Amino acid sequence: MALQALQSSGVAFRKILSHFPEELSLAFAYGSGVYRQVGPSSDQKNAMLDFVFTVDDPVAWHSKNLKKNWNHYSFLKVLGPKIITTVQNNYGAGVYYNPLIMCDGRLIKYGVISTSILIEDLLNWNNLYIAGRLQKPVKIIAMNENVALRSALDKNLKSAVTTAFLMLPESFSEEDLFIEIAGLSYSGDFRMVVGEDKTKVLNIVKPNIAHFRELYGSILQENPQVVYKIQQGRLEQQINHVMDPPGKNRDVEETLLQVAHDPDCGEVVRRGLSAIVRPSSMKQSTKGIFTAGMKKTVVYSSLKLHKMWKGWLRKTS
């Protein structure tokens, strides 16, 4: 599986993980604190570390975490693990974040999502929230033998590639592809208007081409839709190669051909992505006021605005 290439044995990450209940189907770290970015997020040493913990039983996990890390939670902690899980599962993108936590001398943020909800997002892009983060390089810290989850992780990467192809010309570079993939989950995200640096996608991709190649290389080499010229770092789409033999699934073949050659295809795909991302990102951010608490929300938002302001000053200087 492609994601296995990015599994981490980092001692620092595992040490942080030891502060939390062990029942995790997947744990990964992501963001500028893990992979170097250019621009206002380039200070990797002092950047906040972002984690996502995937759990089979959120009620049981939050119950144990409340005993270990009571102070991580907002006022919702007094309502108990069942209410916390209800807020987690039924509002926003199905993830519950505790931000601005000091752990082993590092500032961290961690999100908790149920395994079943993550699998649904990976397969169907219901929110394209955590699924979108997993389309970019992440550090896998822990992963169990859940076959359905592993299959969904792989499917998510393949879907990202196929979607990006629809927004690209017949010939393009690796960087062009990775920029499209990294931008999928930011399409329509209102945080790209308020709170995030507008060049965020470029800042993620440019210093991490090798990591994207490691994540997607085998998928691209095995994909019959493209010729992957690894040495030149270029790809050429071969739309006809994905078609079944004549007479088999002809309706699907014709639809694929029409979509692939439609000059407005890229814009149609972007509008579709925005229709998924915009509402989930807005609801998740609103939910953050309750899960983080007002004080942390104000501090966290000010840090984001400061980062955006630094990026603007960098571009105008």
Residue 212: burial class (beta carbons within 10 Å; 0-12, 13-18, 19+): buried
- Can you tell me the distance from the alpha carbon of 61 to that of 55, in angstroms, rounded to the nearest whole number? 7
- Can you tell me the distance from the alpha carbon of 109 to that of 48, in angstroms, rounded to the nearest whole number? 7
- Can you tell me the distance from the alpha carbon of 113 to that of 101, in angstroms, rounded to the nearest whole number? 18
pLDDT value at position 43? 61
- Can you tell me the distance from the alpha carbon of 240 to that of 263, in angstroms, rounded to the nearest whole number? 17
- Which tokens hold the place of 232? 């030149």
- In whole angstroms, how far apart are CA 178 and each of 86, 171, 218, 302, 314? 36, 14, 14, 30, 24
Residue with tokens 């994540």: 215
- Can you tell me the distance from the alpha carbon of 206 to that of 194, in angstroms, rounded to the nearest whole number? 23
For the beta carbon of residue 213, count every other beta carbon within 10 angstroms: 17
- Which tokens hold the place of 149? 């989850």
Q: Is residue 42 classed as helix, strand or coil in its secondary structure?
A: coil
**CB contact at 8 A, 229 and 161:** no
pLDDT value at position 3? 57
Residue with tokens 């970019």: 136
- Which tokens hold the place of 4? 């296995």
Residues 6+ apart with CB under 8 A from 1: 150, 153, 154
- Can you tell me the distance from the alpha carbon of 287 to that of 281, in angstroms, rounded to the nearest whole number? 10
Q: Is residue 64 classed as helix, strand or coil in its secondary structure?
A: helix
Evaluated on CA atoms 54, 57, 62, 64, the torsion sign reads negative
- Which tokens hold the place of 124? 């169907």
- For the entire predicted model, the pTM comes to 0.82
For the beta carbon of residue 167, count every other beta carbon within 10 angstroms: 21
- Which tokens hold the place of 303? 């840090």
**CB contact at 8 A, 221 and 215:** no
Question: Around 172, how many Cα atoms within 13 Å sit in the side-chain half-sphere?
Answer: 17
Q: Is residue 54 classed as helix, strand or coil in its secondary structure?
A: strand
Q: What is the pLDDT along the chain (317 residues), one digit of tens a residue?
A: 455 545 555 788 999 999 999 999 999 999 888 998 876 555 666 788 999 999 999 999 999 999 999 999 999 999 999 999 999 999 999 999 999 999 999 999 999 999 999 999 999 999 999 999 999 999 999 999 999 999 999 999 999 999 899 899 999 999 999 999 999 998 866 555 444 555 889 999 999 999 999 999 999 999 998 999 999 999 999 865 544 444 444 443 354 445 656 667 788 888 888 888 888 877 776 776 767 665 565 555 555 544 554 554 455 55
Length of the chain: 317
